[in-house]
Chain A
Amino acid sequence: MAPVENDTIRKDILRIATAGSVDDGKSTLIGRLLYDSKAVFEDQYEAVERASAGGDYVNLALLTDGLRAEREQGITIDVAYRYFATPRRTFIMADTPGHVQYTRNMVTGASTADLAIVLVDARKGMLEQSRRHAFLASLLRVPHLVVAVNKMDLVDWSEQTYEAIRDEFTSFAAKLNVPDLTVIPISALHGDNVVTRSSASPWYDGPSLLHHLEHVHVASDRNLVDTRFPVQFVIRPQSDAYHDYRGYAGTVASGVLRPGDEVQVLPSGLTTTIAAIDGPRGPVDEAFAPMSVTVRLTDDLDVSRGDLICRPANAPRVSQDIDAMVSWMADTELRPGQRLAVKHTTRSVRAVVKELQYRLDVNTLHRDREATGLGLNDIGRVRLRTTQPLFVDDYARNRVTGRFILIDEATNSTVGAGMLSTGS
Chain B
Amino acid sequence: MTTPDYRLSQLETLEAESIHMIREVVAELERPVLLFSGGKDSIVMLELARKAFAPARIPFPVMHVDTGLNFPDVLEFRDRRVAELGVHLIVASVPEAIARGTVREEPNGSRNRIQTPVLLDAVEKHGFTALFGGARRDEDKARAKERVFSFRDEFGQWDPKNQRPELWDLYNGRIHLGESIRVFPLSNWTELDIWQYIAVENIAIPSLYLAAEREVVERQGMLYAVNEFISPREGEQTRRETVRYRTVGDANLTAAVLSTATTVEDVIAEIAVTRMTERGATRGDDKVSDAAMEDRKKEGYF
Contacts and interface: CB of A to CB of B under 8 A. Distances in A.
Contact of B27 (A4, A108, A232, A245): A232
Given A9-B200, A242-B55, A403 B142 contact: no
Interface stretch (B10-18, B69-77, B89-97, B225-233): B10-18
Contact of A77 (B53, B161, B202): B161
Contacts of A233: 23, 26-27
A25 to B, nearest CB: 20
B194 to A, nearest CB: 12
A290 B16 contact: yes
A219 B144 contact: no
Contact of A42 (B187, B196, B276): B276
Given A3-B265, A404-B170, A41 B7 contact: no
Interface residues of B, number: 71
Interface stretch (A79-87, A178-186, A316-324): A79-87
B26 to A, nearest CB: 6
Interface stretch (A62-70, A191-199, A307-315): A62-70
A355 B276 CA distance: 55
B145 A78 contact: yes
Contacts of B187: 81
Given A41-B275, A251-B20, A280-B15, A4 B196 contact: yes
Residue of A219, A286, A344, A414 most packed against chain B (CB within 10 A): A414
A360 interface: no
Contacts of B14: 13
Contacts of A65: 141
Nearest to A92: B188
A42 to B, nearest CB: 4
A67 B145 contact: yes
A1 B199 CA distance: 8
Contacts of B53: 235, 249
Interface string A210-253: 00000000010010100000001101111101100100011100
A83 B51 contact: no
B130 interface: no
Contacts of B160: 67, 69, 77-78
B290 interface: yes
Given A42-B275, A44-B277, A236-B56, A407 B174 contact: yes
Given A43-B276, A44-B280, A237-B55, A9 B11 contact: yes
A11 interface: yes
A44 B188 CA distance: 19
Interface string A89-109: 010100000000000100110
Interface in B267-294: 268, 272, 274-277, 280-281, 290-291, 294
Given A78-B160, A288-B6, A329 B276 contact: no
Closest 10 pairs (CB-CB, A-B):
A43-B280, A237-B56, A292-B19, A412-B174, A292-B16, A280-B51, A68-B291, A2-B199, A42-B275, A80-B144
Given A10-B9, A222-B6, A233-B23, 18 more contacts: A2-B264, A2-B265, A12-B9, A41-B275, A42-B275, A66-B145, A67-B160, A68-B291, A78-B161, A81-B137, A281-B1, A285-B2, A343-B170, A346-B24, A403-B170, A405-B170, A413-B172, A414-B166
Interface of B: 1-3, 5-17, 19-20, 23-24, 26-27, 51-57, 137-138, 141-142, 144-145, 160-161, 163-170, 172, 174-176, 187-188, 190, 192, 196, 199-200, 202, 264-265, 268, 272, 274-277, 280-281, 290-291, 294-295
Interface of A: 1-4, 8-13, 41-44, 47, 65-69, 77-83, 85, 90, 92, 104, 107-108, 111-112, 219, 222, 224, 232-233, 235-239, 241-242, 245, 249-251, 256, 278, 280-281, 284-286, 288, 290-292, 305, 329, 341, 343-344, 346, 399-400, 403-405, 407, 412-414, 417
